[in-house]
Amino acid sequence: MDAIALAAATALVGAITTDAWQQARSALVVLWRRVRPQEAAAVDAELAESRTRVLAARRAGEADAEQAVVAHWRARIRSLLREHPSVADDLRQLQDAYLTPALTADEQARIGQIMKATASGHGRVYQAGRDQHITER
The H-assigned helical ranges of 84-129 are 88-94, 105-112
Return the pLDDT at 1. Answer: 67
Cβ atoms < 10 Å from Cβ of 13: 25
For residue 17, the model assigns a pLDDT of: 82
pLDDT above 90: percentage of residues in the chain: 42
pLDDT digits (tens, 9 = 90+) for 87-113: 988 888 887 777 776 666 676 666 555
Query: So what's the pLDDT on residue 50?
Result: 96
Helices 21-35 and 63-83: crossing angle in degrees, nearest 10, is 30
Asked if residue 79 has pLDDT above 80, the reply is yes
Q: Could you give the CA distance from residue 100 to residue 18 in angstroms, rounded to a whole number?
A: 11
Whether the predicted pLDDT of 136 surpasses 90? no
Is pLDDT larger for residue 100 or for residue 39?
39
CA angle 54, 60, 62 (to 5 degrees): 65
H helix runs in the chain, sequence order: 2-14, 21-35, 40-60, 63-83, 88-94, 105-112
Alpha-carbon separation of residue 104 from 2, 15, 72, 107, 132 (angstroms): 23, 9, 22, 5, 30
Q: What is the pLDDT of residue 34?
A: 94
Assessment of whether the complete model's pTM goes beyond 0.85: no
Is residue 30 very low, low, confident or very high in pLDDT (cuts 50, 70, 90)? very high
Section 70-93 average pLDDT? 92
Terminal-to-terminal C-alpha distance of the chain? 29
Q: Residue 120: what pLDDT?
A: 79
The larger pLDDT score, comparing residue 52 to residue 101, is at 52
pLDDT value of position 55: 94
